[in-house]
Structure 1
């Protein structure tokens, strides 16, 4: 995906069809990422999975941070948690909210990764500068039937590959053009 090595990667461990004991598989995946230069790693899971032993906190790789979901409680209920997701209904909306105890994902209220205003050094990473752009299913970029429901707002970042379309270039992305 072209992610910078400083990117935080969270392994979301909550699918009900996962093995009853997940720790070995989690460690194998984390070890692969770590060996490939990604050192900002975290494991996300429900507090109940830790309490039931589906995820054995004591046996997880020590470099992995913990992001635990525990709703309706005054605290995460698990020791040594780095981030606590305390609701999925923030201010009555269908919106997750977490408390980052160690400010891993932010720095003084600003993005931990500085946003570069014009050009990203990561190959193929772009930022929307206008208020809104539409995504299209295919080239050429015209016709309402060709428009996708997907719209990218100002400040959205995405990866794309420039494709020549007549005299202009269009960006091919995972969501269309």
Structure 2
């Protein structure tokens, strides 16, 4: 059954009364909070911590998102800093809002760079937000990394595309605040997801990186090297163990043997 959730930024409320009003007026079952905007300190949501805390108290679940302005790696790391600061664990749904009119270039590739940073930091519950027109023309859903949930804005008209959440109105109102509302079609935005226990390769000799894969000079992955395996890079490696630690040893150094980061070809 589809459930409603609210999209919150600095312009919305943060008090327990606000969240009670969302529940009573719209039967909201969750909220997603904008934490950061670009990598500009002056645009960090000043209510973010209160909204995250009180949304979680009200709904038992909260998500977070970032408004993207064109610098994918720097912005993803800036967003992650605040995600961790607010105590959001790695099961939390994290979204990137890709819609600003100033954006140019290959938007799909930029979105993937942003998603890669989050994924490589261990946050695998990811989503991409944009207008239906952008998903039709600027963001190639089939080429997005890590199978993110799709959150689409289409005011008043249900989009004829596969999606996980639909932002259907910008005219909600609760406890003195205007608020955007969305329908969660697949349950990812209004329910908690348990973090998956990591699994590691125990055999194999030829692998392909799923995303940017860091290289290290030692098996404990302490000494980071400048070379990295880019997404879809293929490499030969030996599965090696040091106590309970499992790694892939390549001709350039050690990489993680976590199955989330690579495909085994043979």
Interval containing the TM-score (normalised by the shorter chain)? 0.5 to 0.7
**Offset of 1:57 from its aligned partner?**
1.3
Q: 1:99 aligns with which of 183, 192, 204?
A: 183
Query: In the aligned structure 2, how far is the partner of 1:13 from the partner of 1:80?
Result: 18
Q: 1:23 aligns with which of 101, 104, 108?
A: 108
Matched, 1:61 2:145: yes
Query: In the aligned structure 2, how far is the partner of 1:37 from the partner of 1:7?
Result: 11
Residues 89-128 of structure 1: matches in 2 within 5 Å? 89-90=171-172, 94-107=178-191, 112=192
- 1:123-162 Cα shifts (integer Å, max 9, x gaps): xxxxxxxxxxxxxxxxxxxxxxxxxxxxxxxxxxxxxxxx
Contact 2:124–2:146 under 8 Å retained in 1: no
- Show structure 2 runs of 5+ residues with no match: 1-81, 194-266
Higher helix proportion (structure 1 or 2) = 2
**Offset of 1:94 from its aligned partner?**
2.5
Query: In the aligned structure 1, how far is the partner of 2:156 from the partner of 2:106?
Result: 26
Which secondary structure does the structure 2 equivalent of 1:88 belong to? strand
Q: 1:6 aligns with which of 91, 114, 119?
A: 91
**Offset of 1:83 from its aligned partner?**
0.4
**Offset of 1:96 from its aligned partner?**
0.7
**Aligned pairs, number:** 107
- Show structure 1 runs of 5+ residues with no match: 114-177
Structure 1 length as normaliser, TM-score?
0.55
Which secondary structure does the structure 1 equivalent of 2:95 belong to? strand
Structure 2 length as normaliser, TM-score?
0.37
Which residue of structure 1 aligns with residue 170 of structure 2?
88
Which residue of structure 2 aligns with residue 142 of structure 1?
none
**Offset of 1:72 from its aligned partner?**
2.2
Contact 1:90–1:97 under 8 Å retained in 2: yes
Give the root-mean-square deviation of aligned CA atoms: 2.2
**Offset of 1:90 from its aligned partner?**
2.4
Query: In the aligned structure 2, how far is the partner of 1:87 from the partner of 1:20?
Result: 29
